[in-house]
Amino acid sequence: MLMGVLNNTRQDDIVLTGDDIQEIQTVKTLLNAKFKIKDLGQLKYFLGLEIARSQQGINLSQRKYALELLEDVGLLECQPVSTLIQPSTKFSKTEGKLYSDVHAYRRLIGRLLYLTNTILDLCFVVSTLSQFLSNPLEDHYAAAIRILRYIKNNPGQGLFFPSNTEHALKAFSDSDWAACPDTRRSVTGFNVFYGASLISWKSKKQGTISRSSTEA
């Protein structure tokens, strides 16, 4: 798989990927005739995503983005933790004290959501905390800070796509039951793999209330 970055006169970056170098070159020529582009070479960094290649495969991470986030929040030297949340933690809309800076909470959750592009572990907790953007509590902000301390433990973790893998799709899914104390709705999560490569994942609250764990 070949990946490269192009930049046009309006400073917009474009990524081209494919396994046919001649076809990629044809596309570059057509784009250059219309927009006057500059070829920046093989893809290494794009919109906060870091791409590293080896004979074993491609590694995708957001290490620089994660470290910048830790520095902006003042947690670059914080004590890391090995877990995202305490066991049996449940977040409520009403049980707790309001957090004083709503805009700071929203900015932090927005930046954490972008990290879920490469750090699968964050999906459930960040998705849950994003439900309180309009009225965050101090417990919600404390949980977001714990996420940052978890990221500090390994800011370079990400996705690895091996060069040799079986050509087969595998999917795994699970759900809890009535995990949300406010709505009594369950949360569904799934992972989809192409061989050993994780290609799709999600954590989302269900739209209806399930009457049993089996129904969930």
110 touches 73 (CB < 8 A) = no
Q: Which residues of 167-189 are buried (b: 16+ CB within 10 A; e: fewer)?
A: eeeeeeeebbbbbbeeeebbbbb
Residue 213 has pLDDT above 80, yes or no: no
Q: What is the pLDDT of residue 17?
A: 82
Q: Which residue has the higher pLDDT, 9 or 55?
A: 55
Prediction pTM value: 0.80
Residue 178 has pLDDT above 80, yes or no: no
102 pLDDT band (50/70/90 cuts)? Answer: very high
203 pLDDT band (50/70/90 cuts)? Answer: confident
For 127-152, give the DSSP string: HHHGGGTTS-BHHHHHHHHHHHHHHH
Nearest to 121 by CA among 92, 158, 149: 158
57 touches 65 (CB < 8 A) = no
Domain ranges of the chain: 2-43, 62-158, 168-205
For the chain, the helix, strand and coil percentages under 3-state DSSP, each to the nearest 5: 30, 30, 40
Average pLDDT for residues 203-207, to the nearest whole number? 79
Residue 39 has pLDDT above 90, yes or no: no
Alpha carbon distance 174, 191 (integer Å): 9
Q: What is the pLDDT of residue 5?
A: 53
Query: What is the share, in percent, of the chain residues with pLDDT greater than 90?
Result: 38
The angle formed by the CA atoms of residues 50, 52 and 53, to the nearest 5 degrees, is 155
Q: Which residue has the higher pLDDT, 6 or 181?
A: 181
Residue 200 has pLDDT above 80, yes or no: yes
Q: Per DSSP, what are the bridge partners of residue 208? A: none
Q: Is 194 left (phi over 0), alpha (psi -120 to 50) or beta?
A: beta
Q: What is the pLDDT of residue 74?
A: 93
Structure-derived torsion over alpha carbons of residues 96, 97, 101, 102, reported in degrees to the nearest 10: 40
Q: What is the pLDDT of residue 40?
A: 81
Single-letter code of the amino acid located at 180: C
Nearest to 169 by CA among 202, 198, 201, 190: 198
Nearest to 99 by CA among 129, 69, 75: 129
4 pLDDT band (50/70/90 cuts)? Answer: low
Q: What is the pLDDT of residue 1?
A: 47
Q: What is the pLDDT of residue 8?
A: 53
Average pLDDT for residues 198-216, to the nearest whole number? 78
